[in-house]
Amino acid sequence: MYQLKLHKNLTTEKWSVNPFYKKILMIGNEVNRLKNAIQNKQAEDEILSCVERALELTDLTISCETRKSFLRELLRWRELFGAYYLTKNIEREKLENLYSSLLLMSPEAFNMLAE
């Protein structure tokens, strides 16, 4: 995993105090920004920034996750998210599926957005 430090004041120690559902919601927020950037046909560098921020938050979450089942799911999601971007095949439906699968990792996060 790489260290971009796009979230300059965010460390693993600070990130680890957040409950899992908040971490998932923050990653989801970056995925939503990506969806909007693609929909609004923003510049490639803005789209890349959204991807990098989502990956950075995912990496922080992975680095402080101790439950193996969640860790496995997060690593798989990260792999699929990275592959989605690298294919340059920006299909909204695939991104929606990635977003949904992320939220389903945390029932609290999913329920908060379903209300």
What is the pLDDT at residue 2?
A: 46
Tens digit of each residue's pLDDT, the chain (115 residues): 445 455 666 778 888 899 999 999 999 999 999 999 988 988 888 888 899 999 999 999 999 988 998 899 999 999 999 998 888 766 778 899 999 999 999 999 988 887 6
pTM reported for the whole predicted model: 0.87
Q: Tokens representing 87? A: 């294919």
What is the pLDDT at residue 102?
A: 95
Residue 78: its H or E element: helix 68-86
CA distances from 16 to 44, 80, 97 (A): 31, 23, 26
What is the pLDDT at residue 89?
A: 65
What is the pLDDT at residue 5?
A: 56
Three-state secondary structure string covering 11-73? CHHHHHCCCHHHHHHHHHHHHHHHHHHHHCCCCHHHHHHHHHHHHHHHHHHHHHCCCHHHHHH
